[in-house]
Amino acid sequence: MTTPNSKVTARSIADDLREQIRTGVLRPGEALPTTRELAESYGVTMKTVSSGIDSLKAEGLVVGERGGRRRVRSDRPITWNLTRFERGQRRDTAAMDDWSTSIKEAGREPEQHVKVFSEEASAEVASWLALSPGDEVVVRERSRLVDGHPFQLSTSYFPGTIANGTPLTQAGDVAMPGGILKAIGHPQHRVRDEITVRMPTPEETERLQLPPGTPVAQHVRIGYGEQGPVRAMTTIAPGDRHVLVYELEV
């Protein structure tokens, strides 16, 4: 019987496998060696190996499958340039909005599912849009997928006085050249971004299929027209699927 190597711990195993994932030795979607194989390789017990791998699962680097096999998470992150997003000459077309166009340009496949409804503005939404709580807002709620996998939950709020009677109330993934707000006479002239990093709610975890321990970035973008706010958009972006980029002149 082999004596366990006391110098190898669950943490050091996790560190070693994490480095193999980072450097590409273990590729996205690749199955890890079995627990028994790793235990023999590191000279430790299977329990120690399982504890190390559990750490990687909690970080979202490794996912489990039926039958007990573990694989390197295969979702490739997208680079989301928030400086260019919706700035200047928007890349909206009649078929795709600015977000979908940017994903397509990166060689990935975008998909959006949209729900549209009206509701009374909550205190938070009212503060974003300079409204009174209870005022009508039109909501466009999007589930965004990349290559068939959930990547973002994005919800836009528009004052009812601006949105009613316009394409903003149409169901489905509606897009117009230059953006719908510009097309209906309420272009955005500037935006304000607020980013919060937090743990997801149970609903967000389910809808985004998040591994345990995966944080999300909550990105709120408030768009201002000539007279004040015309839209507030909040996007939930999983931390394991996004690189957020800003480019600023200094």
Higher pLDDT, 179 or 184: 184
pLDDT digits over 10-42, tens only? 999 999 999 999 898 998 889 999 999 999 999
pLDDT tens-digit map of 187-226: 999 999 999 999 999 999 999 998 777 899 999 999 999 9
| CATH number of the domain where residue 23 is located | 1.10.10.10
Residue 90 corresponds to which amino acid? R
Boundary (domain end) residue, out of 29, 46, 72: 72
Q: What pairing do the DSSP bridges indicate for beta strands 149-159 and 229-238?
A: antiparallel
Supply the pLDDT for residue 6: 66
Q: What's the pTM?
A: 0.77
Q: Is residue 250 part of a domain?
A: no
Residues 28 and 105 in one domain: no
Distance CA 187, CA 9 (A): 58
Q: Are 52 and 20 in contact (CB under 8 A)?
A: no
Once rounded to an integer, what is the mean pLDDT over residues 165-177?
Answer: 90
Residues 41 and 99 in one domain: no
Q: What angle do CA 57, 58, 63 make, to 5 degrees?
A: 25
CB 198 within 8 A of CB 215: yes
Please check whether residues 17 and 126 belong to one and the same domain. no
183 and 107 fall within a common domain: yes
Q: Specify the pLDDT at position 202.
A: 96
